[in-house]
Chains A and B, each alone.
Chain A
Amino acid sequence: MMMQAYLIQSINLFASALLLLSFAMLSQRRILTLIHLFTLQGAALVAATVVVAYVTDQHHLYYSAAITLVTKVFVIPLLLHRLIDRLNIKWDVETLINIPTTMLIGILLVVFAFNLALPIVKLSSSIAHSTLGIALACVLLSFMMMITRAKAVPQVIGFLSMENGLFFAATAATYGMPMVVEFGIAFDVLVGVFILGVFMFQIREQFDSLDIRHLEKLKDD
């Protein structure tokens, strides 16, 4: 019973790590560090899922943890590394809003998410239900990261991290989605990264820069 309690607490801990990493990503300027943080977030997600799977004895969660491990921790970071090598971009100094302000808004989003999750938490009987607020906050924070970045690569990372948040929300509230859906999403994400990578090369060829503000020029044509 003691062990059980610690495991549940460690789910909370991993969930907090997830949120912490979301914040770290929000405040990070360098793309390389961003990718590292994303990898770590994936790892935290895997760990949380495995613990939930062990505590609740839900075997399919092991599989989804494995999928996450392969896609989020190994394949996608690898792809991203190659991408920035090819594009020769190591850092990204530009954010549209300055970082302390971004974080301030981030805190408000966290408060909002925690309160939003409150009624759902009361309904859910999952052992990880208390982390639903965190999952929601992660989604919102990643969304915000996509909004505040001027360059394409951090936006893609924001998108991927949002998916992490959604995945965790599903795990926390209902012990994950059906296997088919999960496979589908994992596949979608992979394909999405490929497409976005190709897309980025296109942007670069067109504008000689990865600044997505250049896309505004396309409007009149």
Chain B
Amino acid sequence: MSWSGLFSQLLEIAVALLLAPLLTGWVNQCRAWLQNKSAPSLMLQYRMLRKLFHKESVVAEHASPLFRAAPYIVFGCMALASGIIPTLSTDLPLSPAADAIALVGLFAFARVFISLAAMDIGTAFGTMGARREMLIGFLAEPALLMVLFSASLITQSTSLTGIVETLAHGKFTIYPSMAFAGVAFTLVSLAENARVPVDNPSTHLELTMIHEALILEYSGRHLALIEWAGSLKMFAYSCIGLALFFPWGMAEVDAPGATILALPVLVFKLAIGGALLALIETVSAKMRIFRVPEFLATAFMLAVIGMLVHFLPGA
């Protein structure tokens, strides 16, 4: 492990922790613009986190320790995930420790805990949220895995840094299978981050909630951690997308100084990605919960076809 590797690793986690709420704020702002509303401040997410951290936490009477531990676990998982995904540099000491499959496992781990925590209180809405979250999860998770596998088949590696290095620094090639993977990934990340066609992040109607129903009972610092973790998750997903489909501009192993230079590139790419997300959210309508499996099944199948196209005879 080199010092520059350690530096870029720590920098990456720090950047993720700090930038994630900004990305959420940016998406909200873009969405407001597109919908002809007056936009909230870009800093609103930070202010909300600050407010929540200072507030009193109200915990349900019979909540078990699992309920109180879950926000920390989810936050820890997301922070770790943002350390695994290469965003600024491919010289990451953590990268051999966890590959693409472990990353999906990490997301699944967080999902299981947040769902269990929602069931812990034993309210109707909480259990409903948990059920729906697991429903989305069991389709989105294999779809994400298949998307990552499409890239792995091309690069012959499941290591995320390996994938990025091959895609970004190897000879430029157009991969038809990545077209399928791209569409599938877009669908999956919409579902996983509770965005519009699947879930509405700003809903206040209990029966249509998924993610919000899960965290109904949280307040104060617990809620702050979960909100932050939610932002981190969106950040992590965006970075997976950038790493798989637009990996250019990331620092290589031998270029320590480039890590700093990669930062503005990353911010630029994220800004475009966030604006696109806001656009998708604006032009699509939320679907019924029982259309969601169909939506995700489509994503799953597309990812599988992507892998099939990779084996296209003669290609």
Question: Footprint of B on A, CB under 8 Å?
Answer: 6, 9-10, 12-13, 15-17, 19-20, 23, 27, 98-100, 103-104, 106-107, 110-111, 114-115, 117-118, 121-122, 129-131, 133-134
Contact B312 A20 (CB under 8 A): no
Query: B301 near A: Cβ within 8 Å?
Result: yes
- List the A side residues contacting B170 at CB < 8 Å: none
Contact B294 A27 (CB under 8 A): yes
* B290 smallest CB distance to A (angstroms): 11
Closest B residue to A129 by beta carbon equals: B314
Contact A20 B302 (CB under 8 A): yes
Tell me the complex Cα distance, A200–B180, Å: 35
* B306 smallest CB distance to A (angstroms): 8
Chain B 286-315, CB within 8 Å of chain A: the 1/0 string? 000000011001100110110011011111
Query: B179 near A: Cβ within 8 Å?
Result: yes
Query: B176 near A: Cβ within 8 Å?
Result: yes
Contact A104 B301 (CB under 8 A): yes
Closest B residue to A116 by beta carbon equals: B313
Question: Footprint of A on B, CB under 8 Å?
Answer: 172-174, 176-177, 179-180, 183, 293-294, 297-298, 301-302, 304-305, 308-309, 311-315
Contact B315 A12 (CB under 8 A): yes
Closest B residue to A117 by beta carbon equals: B313
Tell me the complex Cα distance, A164–B304, Å: 23
Contact B301 A107 (CB under 8 A): yes
- List the B side residues contacting A27 at CB < 8 Å: 294, 298
| Contacts across chains A and B counted by CB atoms under 8 Å | 75
* B138 smallest CB distance to A (angstroms): 13
Contact B176 A23 (CB under 8 A): no
Closest A residue to B174 by beta carbon equals: A9
- List the B side residues contacting A16 at CB < 8 Å: 176-177, 179-180, 309
* B115 smallest CB distance to A (angstroms): 23
Given A12-B312, A16-B176, A107-B301, 11 more A-B residue pairs with CB atoms under 8 Å apart are A20-B302, A23-B301, A23-B302, A23-B305, A100-B298, A100-B301, A103-B301, A107-B304, A114-B308, A121-B313, A134-B312
User: B173 touches which one: A9, A19, A111 (CB < 8 A)?
Assistant: A9
User: B183 touches which one: A20, A110, A133 (CB < 8 A)?
Assistant: A20
Closest A residue to B294 by beta carbon equals: A99
Contact B305 A107 (CB under 8 A): yes
Closest B residue to A115 by beta carbon equals: B313
- List the A side residues contacting B173 at CB < 8 Å: 9
Closest A residue to B314 by beta carbon equals: A130
* A136 smallest CB distance to B (angstroms): 11
Tell me the complex Cα distance, A133–B313, Å: 7
* B104 smallest CB distance to A (angstroms): 21
A-B contact pairs, 6 of them (CB 8 A): A6-B172, A16-B179, A20-B302, A100-B298, A114-B313, A115-B313
Tell me the complex Cα distance, A10–B309, Å: 14
Tell me the complex Cα distance, A106–B308, Å: 12
- List the B side residues contacting A130 at CB < 8 Å: 312-315
- List the B side residues contacting A122 at CB < 8 Å: 314
- List the A side residues contacting B314 at CB < 8 Å: 121-122, 129-130
Tell me the complex Cα distance, A104–B173, Å: 29
- List the A side residues contacting B180 at CB < 8 Å: 16, 20
Tell me the complex Cα distance, A12–B311, Å: 12
User: A114 touches which one: B172, B176, B183, B311 (CB < 8 A)?
Assistant: B311
Contact B312 A114 (CB under 8 A): yes
Contact A13 B305 (CB under 8 A): no
- List the A side residues contacting B293 at CB < 8 Å: 100
- List the A side residues contacting B301 at CB < 8 Å: 23, 100, 103-104, 106-107
* A102 smallest CB distance to B (angstroms): 10
5 pairs of A and B residues whose beta carbons are closest in the complex: A16-B176, A130-B314, A9-B174, A100-B297, A130-B315
- List the B side residues contacting A134 at CB < 8 Å: 309, 312
Contact A103 B298 (CB under 8 A): yes
Closest B residue to A10 by beta carbon equals: B174
> Which of B174, B309, B313 neighbours the largest number of chain A CB atoms within 10 Å of its CB?
B313
- Assuming the A-B contacts A100-B297, A103-B297, are A110 and B305 also in contact, with contact meaning beta carbons closer than 8 angstroms in the complex? yes
Tell me the complex Cα distance, A103–B180, Å: 14
Tell me the complex Cα distance, A121–B308, Å: 17
Contact B313 A15 (CB under 8 A): no
